[in-house]
Amino acid sequence: MNSRGPKSILEADDITRDIGERARERGPRHDARSQGDKPDTVRERRVQREVAEYIESICVDLRMMARAARLESLAYFLEMSRIEASIQTELRAGPKAEPP
């Protein structure tokens, strides 16, 4: 399994709980994009990217298991989840460096 992202399910749970608590503190009408690149926003984007990468790697393994067991519809949904996690990872990757 891929070693990117949180080291354990408990660490991922702690990270997502922390993100959720901060979102509740800001209120339902808060839009994180309006903050610009404040340090907390940058950290939150990094944590979200790491969690999305971890979910993507788990989905790959689970999809292979589902395909091996001929659970085709489950394999399909796991692939869709993997794609969504990949999209979320790219969205939170930050600005791309200019080629030299």
* Structural domains counted in the chain: 1
93 or 51: which carries more pLDDT confidence? 51
Closest CA to 32 of 45, 21, 51: 45
Print the domain residue range for 23. Answer: 9-91
Q: How does pLDDT run across 31-48, given as a tens digit for each residue?
A: 445 555 565 688 888 899
Report if residue 100 sits inside a domain. Answer: no
Report if residue 99 sits inside a domain. Answer: no
pLDDT score, position 8: 61
Q: How far apart are CA 27 and CA 22, in angstroms?
A: 9
**Tokens coding 28:** 């339902």
Closest CA to 17 of 64, 67, 51, 59: 51
53 or 15: which carries more pLDDT confidence? 53
User: Would the pTM count as exceeding 0.95?
Assistant: no
Report if residue 20 sits inside a domain. Answer: yes
Report if residue 52 sits inside a domain. Answer: yes
Which CA distances in Å does 13 have to 26, 48, 97?
20, 12, 31
1 or 23: which carries more pLDDT confidence? 23
Report if residue 98 sits inside a domain. Answer: no
Q: How does pLDDT run across 37-89, given as a tens digit for each residue?
A: 565 688 888 899 999 999 999 999 999 999 999 999 999 999 999 999 999 99
Report if residue 96 sits inside a domain. Answer: no
Report if residue 4 sits inside a domain. Answer: no
Report if residue 97 sits inside a domain. Answer: no
